[in-house]
Chain A
Amino acid sequence: MTTASEHQMEQAFNQTGDHRRSERISRETISAIAVAILCVAMLLGARFISPSLGSWSQVETVLVLGSFLIVLSFGQGLVILTGGLDLSLPAVITLGGILATNWVGATDPGAWYLLGAVLLVCAGVGLVSAIGIVWLHIPPFIMTLAMSIIVSSALLGYTRGTPRGAAPDLALALMKSKVLGMPMPILFVIGFVILGALFQSRSVPGRYLYAIGTNIHAARIAGVPVLLVQAMPYVISAVCAGLVGIMLVGYSNGATLRMGDDYLLPSIAAVVIGGSSILGGRGNFLGTVGGALLLTTLGTIITAIGLQIGWRTIIEGAVVLIALLLLREELFQKLGQYWRSSQPASESGSITRRKGT
């Protein structure tokens, strides 16, 4: 099967030049736009079900609830971009949340430093995962799974089963305050999305991630510091998870030992719905943001309708499945072929070969 497609690719290359870059961008843009349209359509369509839905306040709710998933799936997306998977996210979320309530008092003046220390501990967990994966060659799936078991068990022992403490003021300010009538978490997440998207698709380390996710051998030959770049996403992912822990503490004013459990599968689902390949090397953050918002919108609408949690879960799973079936490779190849055949030959031949510059 692969040989056949390679042959096709070779033919296409010989005839019309290298289209892979342009095709990849169109594929990701298509899925990001489709997901965004679906989100808006669902919010507007919800008005027909109940007049309280589809209002601006519901949009605010979706954005606030979605902020957790957006921050989390940024890290997960970077890990998936390199062909890995981070299963330790729920444990690290809980770690961030519990340390935030335990170390930082409610009215601590030095909360800035202490919350920084919390994130540093989370980064340490990510670094241990990275060391195991990159230098000891443990498969990412197994290493992050083991770290997840170890961290949650350590937390269970540390808290003796019952976490105490209240949310630090800083976390409350992040999640509960309003600036110019806009809820703070929405402004925060907008800033996060802009920075995250720029980092992933425009910065040098971000491009390195694509390079090693596409072909690690080629990346090594091209001079990418492969080991460091492979390690980086696990540390970033752990910091994001710790941040989500702090945000959740600010939102619900307390930490529990299971606060991260419900976020692992959605974090992977958001990345997949956003059009990233689970094999790595493909995907962009805006698509992932769309995926996260789609899942959150779906969740709030289903909750508002009053369906029980089981049906909500089934619908979420079905959405993931439909996204997977629609985002299949052949479908995009066909679309790409159709698009190309409708273009004049001279124009398609002039598309640059910017790869590798």
Chain B
Amino acid sequence: MSLSTSSVLPRHSTPMANAFKRFVQGGSLILVTYLALYAVYGVLEPRALQPYAIAALMNNTAPLALAAAGLTLVVINRGFDLSLAGVISICNVVLATMPMDGPGGALLSVLLCILIGGFIGAVNGVLVGWFGLQSIAATLATMIICQGIALVILDAPGGYVAEWIVYELTDRLWGIIPVSGLVVAAVVCLWLIVRRTRFGISLYAIGADEQAAALSGVNVIRVRFGAYLLAGALYGLAGFMLSAQTATGNPTSGAPLLLLSFAAVALGGTSLAGGSGGLFATVIGAATLTLLQKVLFSAGVSSFYTGMFQGIVLILAVVFSVTMSRIGARQ
């Protein structure tokens, strides 16, 4: 069986290896890891299964999950996007300096954030798509500029985010379902639709082999532009959710999320070489990183050392998926 497959398709791996690859990249592996970690958390902290504890965890996770989800779109397309830190910081300081209260204000705020993010994403898209700049260098430049803009808007931490946003978006619907979780779920559902469209398929095709995609009629520039645009919009949404959680403005609030977002993408099994992976796995990857902090805290590990564990988990996850894909390729 494996012999015939490998002789027909020499570059593809066996069905078993394929199934395993799907297991890793489809998010099942990270999901199992997450559930196991949650079980540990439940043992260490019996209140972990209470709705308010779950909601608190969701609120902590949402900004990172959304930012990493946006980053995933770019990484699938074989790019890097560093601008996420800058976009989140700008959205945060804008919400803190121009609080708009009430449901209408919240709607305007979220639209404003998505617009800001989308605009910066579009700039990235033009630089990378049309001008052909290296994504990591171009987004480095936009990130530095965005950080500067955030500092110009608000030069020191301060300001207040509108109360309605702070209370309603960190609340639970009917006492059970966390609103922040719903926002993330909505984004994931939207992605599940988008990935079936022409755009979604082209996104993977470009990441896997840009030339082949271009030759099969994919408009590489336009799809790439779309990826950065959507990614920017998601960073904007992440900035909105972060502001709801912190309730105040900080011109460097996005910076800590940058490295963690890349960690979440890698944990979710999305290959940095492009062409594979998905949003759902990234979201679970982000959730795992946040959960790890809580587990370590309740296990009595000093919060000083949280980063060590996060780093080691990141290395292990990547080594695991690299080794597995090599074994799969060899079979």
Contact = CB atoms under 8 A, between A and B. Distances in A.
A309 B132 CA distance: 30
Interface residues of B, number: 48
Interface stretch (A92-100, A150-158, A219-227, A340-348): A150-158
Contacts of B326: 137
B262 A321 contact: no
Given A142-B272, A308-B151, A313-B145, A269 B140 contact: yes
Interface string A264-287: 010011001000011100000000
B250 interface: no
A153 B311 contact: yes
Main secondary structure of the interface of A (DSSP, over half): helix
Contact of B148 (A268, A310, A329): A310
Interface string A131-162: 01000111101110111111011101100110
Nearest to A128: B315
Contacts of A317: 141-148
Contacts of A268: 137, 140
Interface size class of chain A, counting residues whose CB lies under 8 Å from the partner chain = 35 or more
A15 interface: no
B262 A313 contact: no
**Best-buried of B148, B149, B263, B319 by chain A (most CB within 10 Å):** B148
B133 A139 contact: no
A145 B266 CA distance: 11
B54 to A, nearest CB: 26
Contacts of B35: none
A330 B153 CA distance: 37
Nearest to B260: A149
Given A142-B262, A149-B307, A150-B307, A313 B147 contact: yes
Interface in B277-331: 302, 304-308, 310-312, 314-315, 318-319, 322, 326
Interface string B59-83: 0000000000000000000001000
A310 B322 contact: no
A2 B141 contact: no
A320 interface: yes
A199 interface: no
A87 interface: yes
Given A146-B314, A321-B138, A328-B131, A265 B144 contact: yes
A49 interface: no
B133 to A, nearest CB: 5
Contacts of A312: 148
B307 A3 contact: no
B116 to A, nearest CB: 15
B227 interface: no
A271 to B, nearest CB: 10
B194 interface: no
Interface in A297-330: 308-318, 320-321, 324-325, 328-330
Contact of A324 (B133, B211, B310): B133
A321 B141 contact: yes
Given A145-B259, A157-B305, A313 B148 contact: yes
Interface string B243-271: 00000000100000001001100100000
Contacts of A85: 136
Contacts of A315: 148
Contact of A308 (B142, B152, B302, B312): B152
Contacts of A313: 144-145, 147-148, 151
A157 B309 CA distance: 13
**Best-buried of A138, A145, A146, A152 by chain B (most CB within 10 Å):** A146
B144 A278 contact: no
A221 to B, nearest CB: 22
A1 interface: yes
B308 A153 contact: yes
Contacts of B214: 1
Given A146-B263, A310-B151, A312-B148, 11 more contacts: A142-B262, A142-B263, A142-B314, A142-B318, A157-B305, A308-B152, A310-B149, A314-B149, A324-B133, A325-B131, A328-B131
Nearest 5 interchain pairs by C-beta: A153-B307, A313-B148, A310-B151, A317-B144, A314-B148
